[in-house]
Amino acid sequence: MVGWEPEGPDAYGFATFTGRVRVDRGRCRECGEKPCLATCPVGILVLKDDGPALGIAEEEAAQGKCIECLACELECQLRGRGGLVVELPLPEVGGISLSAAKG
Ligand code: SF4
Ligand code: SF4
């Protein structure tokens, strides 16, 4: 999923402290329960245009209100939705890039 970058009118995203959250609302539109919203432990995601959006100012998310916990991505991916990724500069462990391992 590295380099996954939705484009066009369905693309949505916001900066986090060290990375970025990217959403493909084309996939969100077909996702009935929108489980990512409730799974955010700090409650910063709201429903907008059929998908998750920031319920706070973008500057606040970038300053650390998004705690980069990956819960939204895990919930989305574990349910097979594939509509959201949290791109973070993860380190290499034992020569294996954790970012690449996500792919
Ligand atoms: S779980 Fe995934 S596909 Fe469903 S609304 Fe959230 S980001 Fe979109
Ligand atoms: S990474 Fe965590 S804190 Fe940030 S939006 Fe997703 S669930 Fe919320």
Tens digits of per-residue pLDDT, 22-54? 999 999 999 999 999 999 999 999 999 999 999
Pocket flag, ligand 1, residue 61 (CB < 6 Å) = no
For residue 11, give the amino acid letter. Answer: A
Nearest to residue 70, comparing CAs of 30, 20, 24, 12? 20
Query: pTM for the complete prediction?
Result: 0.86
* H-state helical runs in the chain: 25-28, 35-39, 58-60, 71-78, 98-102
Answer yes or no: is the C-beta of 23 below 6 A from any ligand 1 atom: yes
Strand partners, 13: 22
Q: Which atom of ligand 1 is nearest to the CA of 23?
A: 7
Q: 35: Cβ below 6 Å to ligand 1? A: yes
